[in-house]
Chains A and B, each alone.
Chain A
């Protein structure tokens, strides 16, 4: 099976790469889950030389199911959580009043800490008048990388809710090359943390009413964040023309269409990126890269 061997970037068949490629941060996001973010991110990464890939979908990272890299742990990520010194604490309750997430309960004789709810902002220790709060690290997950260093993934601990601090830390491993980031689905904090401070956002959708509904939400988010965006329609040919109509009305460019094709689905089911079985698609991803470069310029 081809899928069991490691996949590496190859030199493109055509010379489409301009010599001075600007190093960009490109996210692959979508409102709806299961539209093909990972498919687009992985195939894009394999098609464009000198790029890195970050799997920021830390709750269920799956890019490596298609890359088959051996991974090594590079960092255990922790967030600071408060520790109360009951000797110094006068139970004034200022810490609990300050905490927006109710991670502290100030009782007349004791302050209780609920670490799972703590976002690690450190505010409680700042407002404590008695210097009774110190901080300790709570592990939320790990960062792993391939031996080539071109691929990094975050892996959130099971049952953990704080995805954003792990994603923020993971983004520090972007490196010098153009980086492609596979974002978590939806439009909540983990997605926004991924998209924040990037140069371009690819919005992957499917041409169905469900895809359109969630595309609109995601498009509004990136518009609000003033990040240039383009749409990839995956499974083109199913559903209806609603997505195209919406893109036309709002001026959102459609930068690629991936057809509803049995060969793509078969490669996917075997864990093989379809640019490996249909190499002509590498050129299409390179063209899309050129389109993105133009939009960012």
Chain B
């Protein structure tokens, strides 16, 4: 099984990134081989629709599970259409998040956990107003 975790940096002991669409990195953990792979999130600096593009990337790398802090409505639509299980956690490292998931202490979400644009920083993401 492949687990994708949003991460603040490209190390498996770094903290998870609570924002999904604008997460700087995705870390993929393969539960069968115990291997880690990192990938930059191409959507992290998108002018708009970051969650959509990020979700498309997670589907492209064929993750079965996504562990993140929050997902917005558009990202959730894409992830659920792609059949990816979404679980949320906070304040832990990437490794700890995987342990939590394996122990079964993380709950699967059944809908968006944040409003659209919740992960935008100041001055970012106004690309919709064109």
Contacts and interface: CB of A to CB of B under 8 A. Distances in A.
Interface of A: 96, 100-103, 105-108, 110, 112, 114, 116-117, 119, 161-164, 188-190
A96 B56 contact: yes
A108 B53 CA distance: 14
A149 B68 CA distance: 56
Interface string B40-69: 000100111110110110011000000000
A102 B48 contact: yes
Contacts of B129: 161, 163, 188-190
B126 interface: yes
A105 B43 CA distance: 12
Contacts of B126: 188
Interface of B: 43, 46-50, 52-53, 55-56, 59-60, 74, 77-78, 81-82, 126-130
Interchain residue pairs A-B with the least CB separation, the first 6: A102-B49, A161-B128, A102-B52, A102-B53, A105-B56, A105-B78
Nearest to B128: A161
A259 B81 CA distance: 60
Contacts of B46: 102
Contacts of A114: 49, 52, 74
Interface of A is mostly: loop
Nearest to B82: A107
Given A105-B56, A107-B56, A188-B129, A112 B47 contact: no
Contacts of B81: 107, 110, 112
Nearest to B77: A112
A38 B18 CA distance: 44
Contacts of A105: 52-53, 55-56, 78
Contacts of A119: 130
Contacts of B52: 102-103, 105, 112, 114, 117
Contacts of B127: 101
Contact of A103 (B43, B49, B78): B49
Given A101-B47, A101-B49, A108 B59 contact: yes
Given A101-B49, A101-B130, A114-B52, 20 more contacts: A96-B53, A101-B47, A102-B43, A102-B49, A103-B52, A106-B56, A107-B56, A107-B59, A107-B81, A107-B82, A108-B82, A112-B78, A112-B81, A114-B49, A117-B52, A117-B128, A162-B130, A163-B129, A188-B129, A190-B129
Contacts of B77: 112
A100 B78 contact: no
Contacts of A116: 128
B19 to A, nearest CB: 16
Contacts of A107: 56, 59, 78, 81-82
Contacts of A164: 130
Contacts of A96: 53, 56
B80 to A, nearest CB: 11
A117 B43 CA distance: 15
A283 B60 CA distance: 67
Contacts of B130: 101, 119, 162, 164, 189
A163 B128 CA distance: 10
A106 B128 CA distance: 20
